Amino acid sequence: MPKIQMTDLKAQYETIKSEIDAAIQSVITESSFILGKQVDLLEQEIAGYIGVKYAIGVASGTDALVLSLAALDIKEGDEIITTPFTFIATAEAISRVGAKPAFCDIDRDTYNIDADKIEAKITPKTKAIIPVHLYGMPCEMDKIMAVAKKHNLKVIEDCAQSFGSAFKGRKVGSIGDCGALSFFPAKTLGCYGDGGMVVTGEEETAKRIKMLRNHGSTAKYHYSVHGFNSRLDTLQAAILRVKLKYIDTWIAKRIENARYYNELLQGLSPKGTVPAESGAPNHPIGLGAYFNLQGTVPEYKHAFNYYTIRIKKNRDLVQERLGANNIACGIYYPLSLHLQEVYQGLGYKKGDFPLSEEAQDEVLSLPMYPELTSGQIQAVVSVIREALA
């Protein structure tokens, strides 16, 4: 059997080859490679899609976070509350502007920052919160915004894994002060290299990010602040404009695939704890003795950048069996950020965030992409079933 990958970018390219090739060719024909029309148009289209006034293309998702923090005047001495169960870039961006990550444990079912634990982490130095919509699952944004408002904190949504996800009908990225998007190839909306974008409803913030991405320039060869060289390539913008047309169909496919996984995996939960079908695209899934399929409720639209299950016992064995059967899988993420060598200086220790540490030892992400077939999903689940038999 051919390998089942985590995501199959080649299969997707084959479905839109002629449009992508034409888009790339037209940028080269025009030979305008930095910013310009394609970037402007993509910014307008993504702002419309997310439901915000402004979108600013930058060089990566990491830079989208760094520039957002810089634009909101976060600097040395400030503390930013975030989750320890995320990709390093979230905390790295905080450190990059000289501020300090203050970690807050996660919710057991959603893997996202526990909104009810945030307030206890606030100190006089706290300036902002970075909720991360992990795997595509939206955070509890109403609670997070209420805490932020009460304590006058900024909110930067890390939407790197959640393009197209929505909380109570609002797209993620449109709820906080800024949203940081990543177009890294493996993300739900990926380009053919690195790329990112900041979305915001605030004119002043948008202006500052535009200035920061281009060396702090206000007019050609006039600089008012220390900036960055962090622009979205015109070529990537042209590719993304093609892919954006298909994104809702592709997300619907991801959700369909997640539901099929849920259906097939339900039988493996020995306690039968899966609640009845709610009719929503993603229905709530409870804790099983072996599995906790990422819990969702109907008002959360989960776009499934990743499909992640929890295996209480024998995760290593399942991983090994999948590998032996030519099926990819991934652990996002095997070591919580408070336990990373780079953050030793912050003084955290093992046991500080028990739910994040439990998740790091139990999560397993399975192949997930729009072109994944039901036959492939059946093959993945049957290997898991055999491994745990």
Ligand X SMILES: *Cc1c(COP(=O)(O)O)cnc(C)c1O
Binding site for ligand X (CB under 6 A): 60-62, 86-87, 89-90, 132, 158, 160-161, 182, 184, 194, 196
Minimum CB distance to ligand X, residue 65 (Å): 6
Q: Give the residue nearest to ligand X (CB).
A: 61
Cβ neighbours, 10 Å, residue 389? 6
The residue (of 90 and 282) whose beta carbon lies closer to ligand X is: 90
Minimum CB distance to ligand X, residue 195 (Å): 7
Minimum CB distance to ligand X, residue 381 (Å): 25
Minimum CB distance to ligand X, residue 273 (Å): 28
Minimum CB distance to ligand X, residue 352 (Å): 20
What is the rounded (10 degree) CA torsion for 101, 105, 109, 110?
-20
Minimum CB distance to ligand X, residue 81 (Å): 15
Residue 160 and residue 87 in contact, taking contact as beta carbons nearer than 8 Å = yes
The residue (of 234 and 305) whose beta carbon lies closer to ligand X is: 305
Token readout for 298 is 């109907």
The residue (of 132 and 274) whose beta carbon lies closer to ligand X is: 132
Minimum CB distance to ligand X, residue 137 (Å): 12
The residue (of 179 and 281) whose beta carbon lies closer to ligand X is: 179
Identity (one letter) of the amino acid at 332?
Y
The residue (of 368 and 384) whose beta carbon lies closer to ligand X is: 368
The residue (of 74 and 387) whose beta carbon lies closer to ligand X is: 74
3-state secondary structure 216-227: CEEECCEECCCC
The residue (of 188 and 269) whose beta carbon lies closer to ligand X is: 188
The residue (of 90 and 200) whose beta carbon lies closer to ligand X is: 90
The residue (of 87 and 111) whose beta carbon lies closer to ligand X is: 87
For residue 20, how many C-alpha atoms fall within 13 Å in the half-sphere facing its CB?
A: 17
Minimum CB distance to ligand X, residue 181 (Å): 8
Return all residues near 189 (Cβ < 8 A) that are at least 6 apart. 163, 164, 181, 183, 240, 243, 244, 247
Minimum CB distance to ligand X, residue 245 (Å): 21
